[in-house]
Structure 1
Amino acid sequence: MKDILGILNDLRRPRLLLRAARLGADEYSRNQHLKRHLGYGAFPRSGPALMRLLELESDINDKRRTSDASYSLVKHVDVLIAVLGEARLLRASRPVS
């Protein structure tokens, strides 16, 4: 079983999507992004938040791959920004080995 960062490392998306998300991740705001994607209330820690964001992103990516009319490029990039932002927070919180 892979850990959450291993799953993230195996994520394969179009280069342009990831490039846009990396640029946006520098401006990542946990309060704004998680509220928008996970709803209101207490935010989960970075690990559980990242898992929920990855599930949401997977659903959005399925819409992209099947050319679903409800696919939103803007939402996809925004979720990827949150994924990258939470991954940075998770990496920063782990002890250095």
Structure 2
Amino acid sequence: MMLDIKTRLRSLKRPQLLVRAVRFGADDYRRDVHLKRLLNCDTLPRPAEAVMRLLELEAEANHWREIRSGNYVIARHIEILIALSGEAALMQATSSTC
């Protein structure tokens, strides 16, 4: 499962503007606030599970972006990508300590 997650993360290719916005917002990411809101949960999942769920949300947001839908909300897409970045880093840090 871990390899699948890492492969999926490496395969994400997004417009440079989104990537820059994520870099600016990454320092302010707080999983206890942002992840709970994005995943609509009371109990925080482990980083790997959070990444999988965020990948699903991100794929949906990216779909709306690609078809230029009125349902697309760039701020939400950026929030998802910021959380995804934070959770991926946490997943990497916790897997390297085992």
TM-score by length of 2: 0.91
AA aligned to 1:6 is T
Q: What is the RMSD of the two structures over their aligned residues, measured on CA atoms?
A: 1.7
- Measured in 2, the distance between the counterparts of 1:52 and 1:93 equals 18
- Return 5+ residue gaps in structure 1 as ranges: none
1:23, distance to aligned residue in structure 2 (A): 1.6
Secondary structure of 2:19's counterpart equals: helix
Q: Work out the CA distance in 1 between the residues paired with 2:65 and 2:26.
A: 21
Q: How far did residue 2 of structure 1 move?
A: 4.2
Give percent identity, aligned residues only.
46
2: CA distance between counterparts of 1:28 and 1:5? Answer: 20
Aligned residue pairs total 97
Asked whether the 8 Å contact 2:47–2:91 carries over to 1, the reply is yes
**Bigger CA drift: 16-25 or 81-90?**
16-25
Instruction: Show the counterpart of 1:59.
Output: 60
Structure 1 residue aligned with 2:15:
14
| Moved >2 Å (runs of 4+) | none
Q: Counterparts of 1:88 and 1:95 in 2: how far apart (Å)?
A: 11
* Aligned partner letter, 2:77: H
Equivalent residue number for residue 31 of structure 2:
30
**Displacement, 1:47?**
0.1
Instruction: Provide the TM-score with structure 1 as the length reference.
Output: 0.92
Mark the runs of 5 or more structure 2 residues left unpaired by the alignment.
Answer: none
Q: Does 1:48 align with 2:40?
A: no
Q: Residues 30-61 of structure 1, C-alpha deviation per residue, up to 9 Å, x if partnerless? A: 01111111113211100000000010010000
